[in-house]
Amino acid sequence: MKRNLLTVIIGAVLIVIFALLLFVFQVRQSEVAVVTTFGKPVRDLTEPGAYFKWPWPVQKVYKFDQRVQNFEDKFSENLTADNNNLLTSVYVGWKISDAQSFFPKFAGGSVPAAQRMLESMLRSAKSAVIGKHKLSEFVNVNPQDLQFDAIEGEIEQAVQAQLSTNNCGIELKFLGFKKIGLPESITQAVFARMTSDRQRLINQFTYEGEAEAQKIKSAADRQASEVVNNAVADATRIRGEGEAEAAKVLPVFQQNPELANFLLRIDALQQALNQRSTLIFDERTPPFDLFTGIPANPPIH
């Protein structure tokens, strides 16, 4: 009896497990699922958890990776607006945004098929956008003239517009240039242009430096001229004042020349003896000739 009961319990458990496998399925955190009824999509599930379904062939569940997929296109050649060839490679990140639209568009939700279509759209958009920009916006010695961000944004918008128009259920998450190169045929021309641009900058800086140096030199010369002119003016003024003072005493000296001569010699002698010093002089040389006739040991009264 116990043996029969155990068999019944095991059988019931197996039936429950089989029923769960037939009627219940699980969606993981990283997945998105599409449920079809007789091959037609009826609902998509983006939240993780367990869900009910009718067993096959009534309903079938298709699961897709909801994480961001990424790829890099081929290093290909395109023509710029100024008729120069440019080699570029672009990396792309995308994810399924609408599983119910994505599933019928790509033969049962084939991710490789979706990527092939994206690569085709990317080639078309990249060629169109690059054709609107000059080579100098991709390769330039001046970083301010580069337009990488704007060009990447234009390519991304063009691809996303095609995806929305075709109702692909795909959203671009990021897009950018991976590599940029120049064909060998125009590399030398680009280097020559870069050298010319560098030389132009060097000439510009040299001219500006020389102009600034000339400005500084002119200011210094002007300041020096002002100082010299002021000194000459002060000297002229002082000389005039001295001559004026001399003119005042000249009539007095003319009245008594001997007295004037004596006073001048006394003044010169006073200037010579202004500091404490020992003098060795010739008494025949003015103003020391005043000492002529003075006894060596004058009498003391």
Hey, what are 97's tokens? 């945004």
Report d(CA 168, CA 258) in Å as an integer. 127
Q: What is the pLDDT of residue 55?
A: 76
Q: What is the pLDDT of residue 202?
A: 86
* Average pLDDT rounded to a whole number, residues 229-244: 79
Q: Are residues 121 and 17 in the same domain?
A: no
State pTM to two decimals: 0.53
Residue 248 lies in a domain: no
Residue 199 lies in a domain: no
Hey, what are 101's tokens? 């639209």
At position 94, the amino acid (one-letter code) is: W
Residue 173 lies in a domain: yes
* Rg, C-alpha atoms of the chain: 53
Structural domains of the chain, count: 3
Higher pLDDT: 134 or 59? It is: 134
Q: Which domain does 90 fall in, by range?
A: 69-182
Strand-pair partners of 272: none
Q: Are residues 137 and 100 in the same domain?
A: yes
Report d(CA 77, CA 82) in Å as an integer. 14
* Average pLDDT rounded to a whole number, residues 60-75: 84
User: What does the pLDDT look like over 150-189, one tens digit per residue?
Assistant: 999 999 999 999 998 888 888 999 999 988 887 776 666 6
Residue 300 lies in a domain: no
* Average pLDDT rounded to a whole number, residues 53-63: 75
Residue 250 lies in a domain: no
Q: Which of 182, 212, 230 is the last residue of a domain?
A: 182
SS3 131: coil
Q: Are residues 11 and 90 in the same domain?
A: no
